[in-house]
Structure 1
Amino acid sequence: MSLVTFHEVVKKYDTVPSVNHLSLAIGAGEIFGLLGPNGAGKSTSIHMLAGLLDIDGGDIKVDGYSVRSHALEVKKRIGLVPQELAIYDSLSAAENVTFFARLYGLRGRLLRERVSEALEFVGLQDKAGSKPSTFSGGMKRRLNIACAIMHQPKLIIMDEPTVGIDPQSRNHILESVRTLNKLGSTIIYTSHYMEEVEAICTRVGIMDRGKLIVSGTKEELRRQIGSEEKLVLEVDRTDPAASAEIRQHPRIKSFTELEANSFEAVLDESATALQDLLFILQKHQVGLRKLTRVEQDLETLFLQLTGRTLRDRTS
């Protein structure tokens, strides 16, 4: 069952579409990774979902409620962890969480309990009375999360939550995402760190130039784009003639020396490419010691689909 649906959503700046007829469904209970280079439209999409930007066309629904016609009902169900910190240095950690909890209507004993639970969850209960101006970057990021989850939202949007923090805080945040998901929250997660997405997301959508170009599990993405095969070969000796013939083969896209007697080969998806490579080695009396298939990671898939790396800062 879908908790979030984008239906033909459009957002334009002047006459240029930043989001161009985006349709996407995110199921309840997912950790959904939304990826794209800068300028792809993912932050704009998130801001429309959260009610921070008006929608120019189409609609977004959360738990059956339209962002356009029932904005307040949608906001009650969302916790937003923005890329830019949304905390107040003049308030203590507990006062920050209390401020946002009151915006969601929490009062009295329930308010105090939720503030305490949120700070404990992010590991800042012992800093409840301290001001964020004394915190490290990682601690500020964790307080940002506490302010977004104290009302126990159905949907949590995390927009680049680990930018510029130390590895220990990053690991704490990633584990927090897993725990929040196990407790029942659906997560939308954006990041420029592909290893984070690989580690925690159950499904991935890739945007480019305002459109969703593919979505699915990692395995489904690989099947949708058709796959090159990457191999690492260890041989008993090198032979320039064998290497030259392999590089000229039409089904072998690259053949690169990694170190002495070790090569990386990228083959097309034809059934005979590997057979041909092995035949060339045998013809030149080059013995194969070891053959290892290298699984394609999301970074490779992303580059094939967009022609850019995830950390590409151009639009």
Structure 2
Amino acid sequence: MKKIGFLSFGHWSDHPQSGTRSASDVLHQSIDLAVAAEEIGADGAYFRVHHFAHQLGSPFPLLAAIGARTSRIEIGTGVIDMRYENPMMFAENAAAADLIADGRLELGVSRGSPEQVIDGFSYFGYAAPEGETMADVARRNTEVMLQVIDGAVFAEPNPRPMFPNPHPGPLGIQPQSPGLRDRIWWGAGSNATAQWAAKLGMNLMSSTLKDHESDEPFHVQQRKQIDLFRQAWKDAGWQREPRVSVSRSIFALTTDEDRRYFGVNRDASDQVGFIDSGQAIFGRSYAAEPDVLIAELAQDEAIAAADTLLLTVPNQLGVAYNTHVIESILTEVAPALGWR
């Protein structure tokens, strides 16, 4: 069994052929797609977070709204850029949204992707201390966030508070949501950060790209990253089993509409490029008739190694079409691969 969810980038564009012409369209349709995905048996509704772009940027209102409209599906992010986040406010918002969802949040966090603007985090009030990078800041913010979500108490109580304090000792952030600490994921772009995440007890979220660290195909490099993560987890002595997700663009061509959208000009091979001044490898997309797709996916070592598969969806094509895309994988592909 493999958990299968969707990952939406939340694009909108004021174009006649776009099904999401505004931010309002994206937000409402994201909620509707999560509801529809739950109804057809999908396991997760995940959303990218990008600032200064025509994409979803403020995750917790959306996650809370989905939590209030659904009852079973996991609700997550892939990923929140911790260069932009106050870890205390993050912990408060995350706990509140998780309580609304009755403990179904699965929060992916990371150092973040290349930005729309130069040093966008500086407009949010953040900068790297001398001798550090913003990657260091993101990791430190993450470490603080994990401690606070885990119930750390650190704030000295006011002797004359507006409301009585629950106890005389140091206080922590409220509310607290039990179990949320085990549902934090790190979006790792490299083998080293995957191992770092394991040491801190975070689940692993691996995307459709990673640092190009060998001459092997993307799916092999990603599978080796997963192996390193799991070994580091074991070495750290954690008692629970970690979770691992990978993202893929996968389309089963079952209708003329599918073939028109994805039957030609698809990216059927890995691509190597540069991102944030480093070399990265981008994994291929999959689009084929179900029988061909099943054979191709059976060779993907990283998907086989992961317990969770996130299907990237073309959100601008609307809720009905994206529901069809997800359902086609669930019914036409997943059973033959032993995922269902």
Structure with the greater alpha carbon radius of gyration: 1
Both proteins in one fold, TM over 0.5: no
Give me the TM-score of the superposition, normalised by structure 2: 0.33
TM normalised by structure 1 equals 0.35
Higher strand proportion, which one? Answer: 1
